[in-house]
Amino acid sequence: MATFSRLIRAIVFDFDGLILDTEEPVYRSWLEVYQAHGEELPFERWVQIVGSTTIGFHPQHHLEERLGRSLPKEVLDRRIGRRTEMILAQKVLPGVVQHIESAKAMGLKLGVASSSTGDWVRGHLARLGILDAFDCLRCRDDVANAKPEPDLYLAVLECLGVQASETIAIEDSPNGVMAAKRAGLRCVAIPNSITARLDLGQADVILGSLAEVTLADLLRKVAST
């Protein structure tokens, strides 16, 4: 354990669904629009975009195709309003702040790798008062390919000046876990209400919440895999 801890120099966090549960609000805001139009939002298609981008499934275009017409601007604006309202009601997920503080105390570097835009991630982290805790953020706009491709993790490693073997990723979605593993990192998965229904089996360790463990426990668990 002591040897392994010395080998670890950085922790990279995902943002959506890991630091803040934006996943349920985004899903619910679309679900409400689908239900108001008497349509079903296919969950198996929805999960393609969790942790990634809407390249695989675009909820607006899909519903417009089903209806055979465009959704009015008021409907789309109201959906964004509902999403924002539900996100603003969320607190930072349990254990996240404690792990950030522990990592700082241990002298580890901290990064964020997110398939969302830089404006989205920086805006929320600043609002939550934890933006300055991170040494480096890499978001959708910084790389050619979002998760599950490894680009975001490779970009964070370069920015932090660390190797994949020295870094642990913390993720909530299969797309995120795959991106981290493809970049060669060890990965801890913490499912949320949406991703708990998905297969996170590629992660090295799966926990119910970051609040279940100290950072030392987490490093020990990863070391024993």
Query: Interface with Mg ion includes 149 (CB under 5 A)?
Result: no
Interface residue with Mg ion, options 172, 192, 205, 210 (CB under 5 A): 172
Query: Interface with Mg ion includes 17 (CB under 5 A)?
Result: yes
Interface residue with Mg ion, options 8, 11, 12, 16 (CB under 5 A): 16
191-195 LR contacts (CB < 8 Å, sep 24+): 192/17, 192/18, 192/21, 192/23, 192/24, 192/93, 193/21, 193/23, 193/24, 194/17, 194/23, 194/24, 194/27, 194/47, 194/50, 195/17, 195/23, 195/47, 195/50, 195/51
Name which of residues 22 to 61 contact Mg ion (CB under 5 A): 51
* Upstream peptide bond of 148 is cis (omega within 30 degrees of 0): yes
Q: Which is nearer to Mg ion, 66 or 127 (CB)?
A: 127
**Count of residues near Mg ion by CB under 5 A:** 6
Q: Which is nearer to Mg ion, 63 or 189 (CB)?
A: 189
In whole angstroms, the minimum distance from the beta carbon of 92 to Mg ion comes to 14
Query: Interface with Mg ion includes 173 (CB under 5 A)?
Result: yes
Q: Is the CB of residue 183 less than 8 Å from the CB of residue 153?
A: yes
Angle in degrees, 0-180, between the axes of helices 59-67 and 23-36, rounded to the nearest 10: 10
Q: Which is nearer to Mg ion, 63 or 150 (CB)?
A: 150
Q: Which one of the spans 16-24, 88-96, 123-131, 211-219 is the region binding Mg ion (CB under 5 A)?
A: 16-24
Could you tell me whether strands 136-138 and 205-206 are parallel, antiparallel, or unpaired per DSSP bridges?
unpaired
Q: Which is nearer to Mg ion, 63 or 138 (CB)?
A: 138
Query: Interface with Mg ion includes 14 (CB under 5 A)?
Result: yes
16 included as an active-site residue = yes
- Residue indicated by tokens 């934890």: 130
188/195 Cα distance (integer angstroms): 14
14 included as an active-site residue = yes
Query: Interface with Mg ion includes 204 (CB under 5 A)?
Result: no
Identity of the residue numbered 55? I
Binding site for Mg ion (CB under 5 A): 14, 16-17, 51, 172-173
Q: Which residues are catalytic?
A: 14, 16
